[in-house]
Structure 1
Amino acid sequence: MELFSFYNVENLFLPDPKPMHRLDPTRSGLRSWDERRYKNKLFKISHVFQLMKEENGVLPLMIGLSEVSGRKVLEDLVELEPFNKNYGIVHYNSMDERKVDVALLYDKAKVEVIDSEAITFFFEIVDKNTENYDTTRDVLYSKVKYKGEIINVFIAHLPSKREKDINKPKRDFILNEIHTRILNLVESKEHVVLCGDFNENPDDENLIKILYGNNHEKILENPFQQLFSTRRYSTFHYSSGLLFDQIMLSESFFNDNTSLSFQNAEVFSSEKISSRDRKFEGRPFRTYAGTRYLGGYSDHFPVFVRFICKTQ
């Protein structure tokens, strides 16, 4: 068995330097984000994957991450158990205004990275007084090899839903671009994994549309549609359960002739990483609630898919 996982880790920043003045803004935007809290956060994130390993017998061969700020936090993370320096990193600094990026961790003993690219998006700001543009988080593309087979991995953290969802046109545009790239890869008979925090649920129009080609043929499967229909959620907004974190797979993973054959999908909502507060039972134990430090893991649960591993 092999696993592929995605996890929005909620603001993994390096510790803030001490401000010169108590009103100075911090780099992270987090209150009192110091060395102790940073190390606790790293331990918590690594512990999630230790728990995943204990439950499944293996660590994920690849892990997509979002809300990480810079490469150094990733280097510090893979030093810890259960990674123990055995995981490589694919990361690019994006032009996101909050300086948070997506990244790929991979088991160096199993996976070879052949190529990678940060897919950057610019959005024009319509303003008569200035020529300006807006940026968002990159989509990370990696071409990897596993047991002689090529896998194309896209990791996204799409613009958030806020202010009457003014970011929807940006999500539409990004997904259209990714869809075009996926179509080309599927036509070449290559495996594709599309994962991330899409800020949309599996039944939203964008995430249904991306599953189909131009002739309405199925090109991707989204096993998180079934999980969402049974009220399995990865994050929450007030009283609403959401499944924004998803992993979609090309039809080739459902073929008996491949080295990785899809088995099932899960939201990893272990009690050990869930809220200690009875009012929020069954929700992720988050690091911050607003400005209040809770000391938890993340405001999202990780998600993963299991593969049956076949010898070629």
Structure 2
Amino acid sequence: MRHLISLFSFLLFCCTIANAQSKKYKIHTTAFYNFENLYDTIDDSFTNDDEWTPNGAQHWTKEKYEQKLKNLARVIAEIGTPENANAPVLLGCAEVENREVLEDLIKEPKLQQFDFGIIHFDSPDKRGIDVALLYQKKYFRPTSFSNIPLIIYKKNMQKKEEELEVLDDEVEIKKENNNRVFTRDQLLVSGFLENEEIHIIVNHWPSRSGGEKATTLFREAAGKLNRKIIDSLQQINPAAKVMTMGDLNDGPINNSVKIALGAKGKKAEVPEFGVFNPFEELANKGMGTIAFRDSWNIFDQIIITETFLKSDVSTFSFWKAGIFNKPYLVQTSGPYKGYPLRNTVAEAGFSDHFPVYIYLVKEFR
């Protein structure tokens, strides 16, 4: 009898393993990449892009521009490998001058096979840099998109937090004065990833120019606007799947992310309608996407609503996050050895940021 029981247990174990191995999963990579000054060589009289022209401070020539496109295309094609051979199905982008540079980018030989679509709006940023979303048409079908302005004022920099308002009323916007800080809009895109509706917010929050403390309220306002957008989507559909991605110019533990947006770094702490930031754990491990004075931080993040954290993978669910920092993206010599390999006056590099990505998985049934 003992032998029969042992044999039965062994057969049951083998059947369980066989069943687990027979399950198949679909993986999609979604990513964000700050392209660092992806300018064309043409002087735009409406923006401060003079240095990114052949006669400007960067001596930005056609040859450099074309090399920059090749560099970025190589990275985009490889983000998320080797776990997923396909390029990101969704790629948030920052620091792009206009739609034309994106059209040039997706025509690069390394990217043509992916058939990327483009969603882009011109923003009021004085340097003329915008955010955008690239998406693989085979997998994602956009149904709506809009650019949502972040209205903040310089005069409130030294004032208490409640005086720094995010305005969304057209009447108020008309009352703008010269104290307005013209920064990037927040891009909201809704659509279907295969047959599942998701929403993406692409961000490039106000910089730390002028000092981190002096500008923190601007990024806190950006976090509040993000939270407001997410709340609106959840009011329409409590089960809405929303991801917000971008260069936040703050790390996972700064107030703009932890308090204004309300992002939690541990899955167990995420409440209903809350948001989870998988990059907080990576930051705690000392990893980074950008370096300054030999100190690393993760400014580039992808943050998701708790609806992506379900254990049931019959719909697209979060698997894991990563920073794409392959050796060819790293400076190998000089005072900035170990930093991201960025543009210089001498040659076109990649970016001063590493891209970030998450995997979404779904079980075949």
* TM-score, with structure 1 as normaliser: 0.89
Report the CA distance between 1:167 and its aligned residue: 2.3
Q: Does the alignment pair 1:211 with 2:262? A: yes
Considering only aligned residues, what root-mean-square deviation do their CA atoms show, in Å? Answer: 2.5
Number of the residue aligned with 1:148: 195
Number of the residue aligned with 2:86: 58
In 2, the alpha carbon distance for the partners of 1:54 and 1:229 equals 24
Contact 2:93/2:133 (<8 A) preserved: yes
Letter paired with 1:240: S
Contact 2:147/2:186 (<8 A) preserved: yes
Contact 1:193/1:248 (<8 A) preserved: yes
Q: Does the alignment pair 1:2 with 2:17? A: no
Number of the residue aligned with 1:227: 282
Q: Does the alignment pair 1:260 with 2:316? A: yes
Contact 1:147/1:259 (<8 A) preserved: no
Higher gyration radius (CA): 2
Residues 40-55 of structure 1 correspond to what in structure 2 (within 5 A)?
40-52=67-79, 54-55=81-82
In 2, the alpha carbon distance for the partners of 1:70 and 1:93 equals 7
Tell me, what secondary structure is at the counterpart of 2:109?
coil
Q: Does the alignment pair 1:36 with 2:63? A: yes
In 1, the alpha carbon distance for the partners of 2:357 and 2:154 equals 37
Contact 2:287/2:298 (<8 A) preserved: yes
Contact 1:16/1:34 (<8 A) preserved: no
In 2, the alpha carbon distance for the partners of 1:181 and 1:8 equals 22
In 1, the alpha carbon distance for the partners of 2:313 and 2:361 equals 12
Structure 1 runs not aligned, ≥5 long: 18-23
Structure 2 runs not aligned, ≥5 long: 1-26, 44-48, 157-175, 265-269
Number of the residue aligned with 1:20: none
Q: Does the alignment pair 1:195 with 2:223? A: no
Tell me, what secondary structure is at the counterpart of 2:221?
helix
In 2, the alpha carbon distance for the partners of 1:152 and 1:30 equals 39
In 1, the alpha carbon distance for the partners of 2:59 and 2:35 equals 18
CA shift in 2, pair 1:235/1:126, >3 Å: closer
* TM-score, with structure 2 as normaliser: 0.77
In 2, the alpha carbon distance for the partners of 1:141 and 1:76 equals 23
More helix by share: 2
In 2, the alpha carbon distance for the partners of 1:58 and 1:282 equals 28
Q: Does the alignment pair 1:280 with 2:348? A: no
Tell me, what secondary structure is at the counterpart of 1:155?
strand
Report the CA distance between 1:119 and its aligned residue: 0.8
